[in-house]
Amino acid sequence: MNFRIFVAVLIIGVATAGVFAMNAAEPPAALPVTAPFLTNDENNNIAVFKQAGPSVVFVTNTRLRRQRFSLNVMEIPTGSGTGFVWHESGLILTNFHVIYKANKITITLQSGKSYQATVVGSAPEKDLTLLKIDAPDEQLIPIPLGDSAALSVGRKVLAIGNPFALDTSLSVGVVSALGREIKSISNRTIKDVIQTDAAINPGNSGGPLLNSMGQLVGVNTAIYSPSGASAGIGFAIPVNTVKLIIPQLIKHGRLYRPVLGVETLTDYWAKRFKVKGIAIMSVKDGLAADIAGMVGMSEDRLGNLHLGDVIIAVNGEPVTTEDSLLSLLEQFEPGEEVKVTTMKNESIHNYQVILTAPE
């Protein structure tokens, strides 16, 4: 080998060995912590949580219970859940089942301050309750309302709540299905429910379901799981349903549904008569059905019972159960006219009925 080439190779080898020795002695520099890399989706999750987090509250339900061997009355914690600020006047929205049978309801804000709440109105059939607290306006930040009709399967949603009494947790998922039906605590059917795989565990009930813009699209209400823990199937009441109910709770304290003014046949007699539809047992004098000319059951001289009108449709929508009839009536206001279709004496009858305000 040429002497000059040999010397050059030797020098390069020594230099390289020095570099290796230096690297072995000094650990590699850490990535700069002041500029972490976040995906657009992560940035969005953080932004939504920061914006909506201050609006989410902790709801505590307590009952009064007398001690067994004395007359002393104690407050017993019986449950907790989530709620959120609906209006800066102090209105808080949560699930009805969160405050069910409560003697005292306490709302804890993100500031850590607690306030005793009063019930403005409840709709057990929709699992919603509107509460009110007396807190400073600056601590009450409402969540902007979205449009649940604009949702589609696959869209990202975020749930914020207090699962297992853990303070303000975020879970992220997608809309798994739309138009689901679940049963409320009053055994009424809640329609058009949003199904999501965002983790909704005990304690999340009453919390907000948000879209990627931080807008309210639903109220988390239930999970479907034998163990009671999240199994990838959670449900939320759509915000468009909530928008219709809140004014009624504020004005009337309950769901304000127009009535036909009829008493319907019990399940026992409905099965006995093999009724397909809703059989009218009696009609209340002076109310909508009576004015329209509808009739209930009658009894002949021998004591035999005979069916009167059996409701089978309202405005062309089929009626099969009392639940379906009530759900249809909820779409109208007192004073509106609807077409009620009945079966009577084996023939179809149509009545134009002006709905009556509830008593």
CA nearest to 56, candidates 89, 96, 92: 92
Beta bridge partners of 237: 219
* N-term to C-term CA, the chain: 112
Q: Is 97 in the active site?
A: yes
Task: Determine the residue type at 29.
Answer: A
Q: Apex CA 134: angle with CA 129 and CA 135, to 5°?
A: 110
Dihedral class, residue 332 (left if φ above 0, else alpha if ψ from -120 to 50, else beta): beta
Q: Is 127 in the active site?
A: yes
How many CB atoms sit inside 10 A of residue 201's CB?
Answer: 22
Distance, CA of 14 to CA of 1 (rounded, Å): 19
Q: Is 309 in the active site?
A: no
Distance, CA of 233 to CA of 30 (rounded, Å): 41
Of 127, 197, 290, 309, catalytic: 127
DSSP-assigned states of every residue in 157-225: EEEEE-GGG-SSEEEEEEEEEEEEEEE-TTSPEEEEEEEE-S---TT-TT-EEE-TTS-EEEEEEEE--
Q: What is the DSSP letter of 356?
A: B
Q: Where are the alpha helices (DSSP H) in 53-137?
A: 96-99
156-161 and 169-183 strand pairing = antiparallel
271 three-state secondary structure: helix
Of 80, 97, 171, 184, catalytic: 97
How many CB atoms sit inside 10 A of residue 285's CB?
Answer: 8
Distance, CA of 280 to CA of 249 (rounded, Å): 29
Of 205, 230, 324, 327, catalytic: 205
Residues with catalytic annotation? Answer: 97, 127, 205
